[in-house]
């Protein structure tokens, strides 16, 4: 996809990559990523996705913002690793209704949210993490 930009950040002198920065349409991540060189049209799975302001900007669309957030999370579910993949959300303080929507969407994609993590959030900023686990891993996680 010509609108997708990828940057790799080297880990050490051996040029091993520990982080890949991808810029593309978040609502169709699988489509954006599967057309990248070396993916054989299969989108890669990512350990984490960092959202610094995307949900905030989608909420500014006014009424119907839940449609755009739902579309975003459908795109995220295609590429976020189902075995411990994390969606890290840095945003303005989340409203109860937004937390409810994210919880609902999380349930659809086996993601459990930890909102307003203590020590990282304050009265203006929310630091929240959604972690994905497939159902068969629920027993392991609860142990």
Tell me the chain's radius of gyration from C-alpha atoms.
Answer: 16
Domain boundaries, the chain: 1-44, 46-142
Q: For 73-77, what is the mean pLDDT?
A: 91
What is the rounded CA–CA span in Å between residue 116 and residue 120? 7
pLDDT for residue 51 is more than 50: yes
Q: Which residue has the higher pLDDT, 19 or 88?
A: 88
CB 91, CB 51: distance < 8 Å: yes
**Span 110-131, pLDDT tens digits:** 999 999 999 999 999 999 999 9
Is CATH 3.10.180.10 the classification given to domain 46-142? no
Confidence of residue 37 (pLDDT cuts 50, 70, 90): low
pTM of the predicted model, to two decimals? 0.77
């Amino acid at each position: 996809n010509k609108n997708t930009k990828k940057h790799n950040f080297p880990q050490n002198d051996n040029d091993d990559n520990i982080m890949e920065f991808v810029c593309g349409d978040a609502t169709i991540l699988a489509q954006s990523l599967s057309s990248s060189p070396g993916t054989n049209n299969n989108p890669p799975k990512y350990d984490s996705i960092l959202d610094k302001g995307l949900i905030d900007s989608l909420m500014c669309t006014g009424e119907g913002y839940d449609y755009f957030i739902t579309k975003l999370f459908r795109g995220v579910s295609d590429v976020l690793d189902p075995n411990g993949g994390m969606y890290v959300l840095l945003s303005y303080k989340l409203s109860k209704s937004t937390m409810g929507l994210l919880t609902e969407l999380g349930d659809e994609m086996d993601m459990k949210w930890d909102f307003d993590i203590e020590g990282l959030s304050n009265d203006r900023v929310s630091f929240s993490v959604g972690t994905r686990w497939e159902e068969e891993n629920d027993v392991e996680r609860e142990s």
